[in-house]
Structure 1
Amino acid sequence: MINHINVIVSDLKRSTDFYESVLTVLGYRKKLVSEQTVSFSDGLSSDPGGDLWLSVGKPVSGHFAFQADTHKEVHDFFERGINYGGKSNGAPGYRVHYHPQYYAAYLLDPDGYNIEAVCHK
C-alpha cells in the first residue's frame, strides 16, 4: 500500500489550485501548507501530513490515478481539471482493455503529469 506520493511542480500556487479543484470531488482536502510544499489528504492515510504532496522543483514525467466511487466523480474530476488549466488526455469513458468496469478520465496537469480518476464499478 502506498503511504504518500510527492509530486515535483514548477509553480506551487498554480498546481495547488489545480489539484485542490480536481481532488475536492474525490474527498481530498488541503492538509499542510508551506512556501515549498502543500499536502492533501482524503482522511484515510495514516500519514498525518496526507498522502499527496506537491513540492517546488523541476518536474519529471509520471502517471498516477485517484480512486473515484462513481462515474459522476470521474466526470467532475475531468471537468474541473479542464476548467483549471488541465488538458484532456482521455475523456471520461470505459477502458475495457484494462477490464470491463474500468471507467476513467485522464488529464495532463499544469506540469504535464498524466493524472487519472478511475471507478471500477
Structure 2
Amino acid sequence: MISYATLGSNNRQAAKTFYDAVLQPLGMKASYADDDFVGYGPDAPDAKTQLWICKPYNGLDASAGNGSMLALEASTRTQVDAAHAAALAQGGRSEGAPGLREAYGPNFYAAYFRDLDGNKLALVCRAEA
C-alpha cells in the first residue's frame, strides 16, 4: 500500500551518517545520495528505495510532526535491539526501549526513538522469539 516514506532533515549529511548506522541492522543501505537527498532500500539488486531523507521541498526548516511516527519492520528481535542501539549511539533519543508490547499482540516486539531532527520512528518485529 505505501510506496515510500520521506522524512525531513535540516542536515542531510548528519542524517545520512545516522541512518546508515540505524538501517544497516535491518538490511537496508543508501541506494541513492546527493547533496539534497539520500534514499534507503533493501541491500539487494534492483531493490526499490523505500525511505527518503531530505530538506523539505518548500525550503523551510524540517520539523517533526506531532503524532507522526514511521514504523520500520525488522525480521528479528535482535535487529530491533541493534537498530535501536545504533540510533542512540548516533545521537538519537530513546522513546521506548526494546521489548514486548503485548497490548499490540503476543509477539509485538518494538523499540522507539527520535532521530537527529526529532522525527519519531518505531522498530517492530512480529516474529516469535
TM-score, normalization by structure 1: 0.91
Supply the RMSD in Å over aligned alpha carbons: 1.6
1 CA distance for matches of 2:50 and 2:85?
23
Which of the numbers 62, 66, 89 marks the counterpart of 1:83?
Answer: 89
Whichever residue aligns with residue 95 of structure 1, its letter is R
1 CA distance for matches of 2:12 and 2:52?
11
Task: Using the TM superposition, give the Cα deviation of residue 47 of structure 1 relative to its aligned residue in structure 2, in angstroms.
Answer: 7.3
Whichever residue aligns with residue 36 of structure 1, its letter is D
Partner of 2:62: 59
1 CA distance for matches of 2:7 and 2:82?
22
Deviation per CA, 1:52-75: give whole Å up to 9, x if none. 111113223131011111110010
Deviation per CA, 1:9-49: give whole Å up to 9, x if none. 111011111111110100101111111111111157x875x
Equivalences for 1:16-31 in 2 at 5 Å? Answer: 16-31=16-31
Partner of 1:33: 33
The unaligned stretches of length 5 or more in structure 1 are none
Task: Answer yes or no: is the 8 Å Cα contact 1:22–1:80 preserved in 2.
Answer: yes
Whichever residue aligns with residue 72 of structure 2, its letter is F
SS where residue 103 of structure 2 aligns? coil
Q: 1:105 aligned to 2:111?
A: yes
2 CA distance for matches of 1:43 and 1:24?
9
Q: 1:72 aligned to 2:71?
A: no
Which of the numbers 109, 116, 121 marks the counterpart of 2:122?
Answer: 116
TM-score, normalization by structure 2: 0.86
Whichever residue aligns with residue 56 of structure 1, its letter is K
Aligned length: 119
Task: Answer yes or no: is the 8 Å Cα contact 2:109–2:125 preserved in 1.
Answer: yes
Runs of 4+ in 1 over 3 A off after TM superposition: none
Flag the 1:8–1:91 CA change in 2: closer, same or farther, 3 A. Answer: same
